[in-house]
């Protein structure tokens, strides 16, 4: 979201201000919305004003659009609150906070099966977007170094990915001047295949992207097949092409739900992985992770050693200051839950997603898009065209309080429109029943409208009668 300056002269006075609602109890004057007020107000008044306005936001517990955590335990919130005033970059001042990041990176590199002898390195980030930018930048840098060493040109880097990637991949390509080679979807395929990847590679490919849990359908790209392809390409053509796995959503699901699925550092070509701590890592928004398989996978030139906060600190981030709380909350979850705790929660979410899918499919109006070895994410399309769309269903559900997004799939599957539900930890079976009931009512209401619209003559007569 990009905000822009409004033209106050073109606005009515009423639109420029927030009017007093509590009279003299809190504030009796209008409060400007777009200009810094000349004077402040009592803290209780400021709190009440903002609190009331935010009541118009959706209810996060009914926000089935977001992958991001909407509930944490009170003890986690306490820890978050206690550490809000610690700038994460001040590592010399807060050495324990820094040490905790080291521990989490260690835990994740082991969870992602880094080889025993590898010296994995990694960092916390603001989310997967920052982690992906940093991961891909490292691969671009390593490619450039290899080309320079071989005396070859390095002005035409490209990156190969499916259109099933998140926007941040294309953002990386544009911001960092890399040609994006994007594999489209097909009408019956919403991930990529190794065969498609093969046709897009060349000596200028800095990296291939694979997704464990796509934003569109929650499915998993065939990471092992692509790894095998890249091994073959290296052997036959000498192109040393690494893979970055975007496990933003799947990184905290696959290790617990599908431990036998090979998608991580067990595969030789997988050199870096990102995961969003704030998605199925079960932390509130503001934490992601980037882990490199081994130290040489992050070029030394990209690491900045800063000393002006006291001590010598290696840093690989896009930003400087940031909060510490969410990173600490990640550590809280890892200790609090352990492998068994994550396994139980993941299995519960997958069970609840299946339960909801069964209820919704009973209505016979929806069809589920691909499910095997995926996330607790359901993408439904309408089975038949009956005069309304998934966008109408989404709107009807919104009227009933649910936030369920509708969208069309990307290129070559863009004639398919879906509704997506992310089943998170706090989505219960009772909620599944209520949602399925409201979906069924929505259908009936929409079918009623379609019926009425199909019979204008009758409607006209009725209206005349009323007149
Ligand atoms: C597959 C995938 N990658 C990357 C991202 C971006 O993650 P973040 O919101 O943590 O920056 C998302 C967000 O939904 C995602 O689904």
**Residue 460 binned pLDDT confidence (cut-offs 50, 70, 90):** very low
Q: Is the pLDDT of residue 29 over 90?
A: no
- pLDDT tens digits for 336-358? 999 999 999 999 999 999 999 99
When pLDDT is averaged across residues 129-144 and rounded to a whole number, the result is: 98
**Residue 373 binned pLDDT confidence (cut-offs 50, 70, 90):** low
Counting from 1 in the atom list of ligand 1, the atom nearest the Cα of 127 is: 10
Give the residues across from 208 on adjacent strands: 160, 243
64 lines ligand 1 (CB under 6 A): no
Pocket test of ligand 1: the residue of 127, 330, 374 to mutate, having most ligand atoms within 8 Å of its CB, is: 127
pLDDT at res. 124: 98
How long a stretch of residues is the chain?
467
Q: What would the two tokens of residue 399 be?
A: 């009227």
When pLDDT is averaged across residues 246-261 and rounded to a whole number, the result is: 97
249 lines ligand 1 (CB under 6 A): yes
128 lines ligand 1 (CB under 6 A): yes
277 lines ligand 1 (CB under 6 A): no
When pLDDT is averaged across residues 116-131 and rounded to a whole number, the result is: 98
Domains and CATH numbers, the chain: 77-334 (3.40.640.10), 339-446 (3.90.1150.160)
- pLDDT tens digits for 234-247? 999 999 999 999 99
When pLDDT is averaged across residues 54-69 and rounded to a whole number, the result is: 94
d(CA 250, CA 111) in angstroms, rounded, equals 13
pLDDT at res. 107: 98
**Residue 463 binned pLDDT confidence (cut-offs 50, 70, 90):** very low
Q: Is the pLDDT of residue 467 over 90?
A: no
**Residue 452 binned pLDDT confidence (cut-offs 50, 70, 90):** confident
When pLDDT is averaged across residues 147-176 and rounded to a whole number, the result is: 97
pLDDT at res. 71: 96
CB–CB of 242/269 below 8 Å? yes
pLDDT at res. 459: 44
For residue 89, count other CB atoms closer than 10 A to its CB: 19
When pLDDT is averaged across residues 27-44 and rounded to a whole number, the result is: 91
Say which residue, 456 or 242, is predicted with more confidence.
242
pLDDT at res. 457: 54
**Residue 116 binned pLDDT confidence (cut-offs 50, 70, 90):** very high
Q: 341, exposed or middle or buried, with CB in 10 Å at 0-12, 13-18, 19+?
A: middle
When pLDDT is averaged across residues 92-106 and rounded to a whole number, the result is: 94
Q: Report CA(274)–ligand 1 centroid distance (Å).
A: 9
287 lines ligand 1 (CB under 6 A): no
d(CA 230, CA 236) in angstroms, rounded, equals 10
Least confident piece of the model among 25-39, 155-169, 317-331, 347-361 = 25-39
Q: How far is CA 159 from CA 147, 192, 213, 242, 413, in A?
A: 15, 14, 20, 10, 22
Average pLDDT, the chain: 93
Least confident piece of the model among 95-109, 148-162, 187-201, 295-309 = 295-309
Rounded percentage of the chain residues whose pLDDT exceeds 90: 86
Say which residue, 369 or 298, is predicted with more confidence.
298
Say which residue, 187 or 124, is predicted with more confidence.
124
- Tracing tokens 């490292």 back to the chain, one arrives at 138
Q: Is the pLDDT of residue 297 over 60?
A: yes
d(CA 306, CA 228) in angstroms, rounded, equals 40
297 lines ligand 1 (CB under 6 A): no
């Amino acid at each position: 979201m990009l905000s822009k300056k409004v033209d106050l002269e073109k606005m009515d006075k009423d639109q420029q201000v927030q009017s007093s609602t509590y009279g003299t109890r809190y504030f009796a004057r209008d409060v400007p919305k777009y200009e810094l007020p000349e004077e402040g107000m009592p803290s209780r008044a400021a709190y009440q004003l903002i609190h009331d306005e935010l009541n118009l936001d959706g209810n996060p517990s009914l926000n089935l659009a977001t992958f991001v955590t909407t509930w944490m335990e009170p003890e986690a919130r306490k820890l978050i609150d206690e550490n809000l005033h610690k700038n994460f970059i001040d590592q010399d001042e807060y050495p324990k906070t820094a040490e905790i990041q080291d521990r989490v990176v260690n835990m994740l590199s082991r969870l992602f099966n880094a080889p025993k002898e590898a010296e994995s390195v990694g960092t916390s980030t603001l989310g997967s977007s920052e982690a992906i930018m940093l991961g891909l930048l490292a691969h671009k840098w390593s490619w450039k170094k290899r080309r320079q060493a071989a005396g070859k040109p390095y002005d035409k880097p490209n990156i190969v990915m499916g259109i099933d990637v998140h926007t941040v991949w294309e953002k990386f390509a544009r911001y960092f001047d890399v040609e994006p080679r994007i594999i489209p979807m097909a009408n019956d395929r919403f991930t990529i295949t190794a065969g498609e990847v093969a046709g897009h590679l060349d000596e200028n490919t800095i990296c291939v992207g694979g997704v464990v849990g796509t934003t569109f359908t929650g499915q998993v790209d065939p990471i092992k097949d692509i790894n095998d392809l890249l091994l073959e390409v290296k052997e036959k053509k000498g192109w040393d092409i690494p893979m970055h796995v975007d496990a933003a959503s799947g990184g905290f699901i696959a290790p617990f739900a599908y431990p036998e699925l090979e998608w991580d550092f067990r595969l030789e070509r997988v050199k870096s992985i990102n995961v969003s701590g704030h998605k199925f890592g079960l932390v509130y928004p503001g934490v992601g992770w980037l882990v490199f398989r081994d130290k040489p996978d992050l070029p030394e030139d990209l690491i900045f050693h800063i000393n002006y906060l006291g001590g010598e600190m290696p840093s690989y981030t896009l930003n400087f200051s940031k909060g510490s709380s969410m990173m600490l909350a990640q550590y809280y979850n890892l200790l609090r839950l352990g492998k068994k705790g994550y396994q139980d929660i993941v299995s519960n979410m997958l069970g609840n997603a299946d339960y909801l899918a069964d209820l919704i499919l009973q209505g016979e109006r929806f069809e589920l898009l691909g499910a095997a070895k995926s996330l607790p994410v359901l993408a439904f399309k309408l089975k038949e065209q009956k005069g309304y769309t998934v966008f109408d269903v989404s709107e009807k559900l919104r009227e009933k309080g649910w936030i369920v997004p509708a969208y069309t799939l990307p290129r070559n599957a863009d004639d398919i429109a879906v509704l997506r539900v992310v089943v998170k930890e706090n989505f219960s079976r009772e909620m599944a029943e209520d949602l399925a009931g409201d979906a069924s009512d929505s259908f009936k209401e929409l079918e009623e409208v379609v019926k009425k619209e199909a019979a204008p003559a009758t409607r006209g007569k009725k209206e005349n009668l009323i007149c």
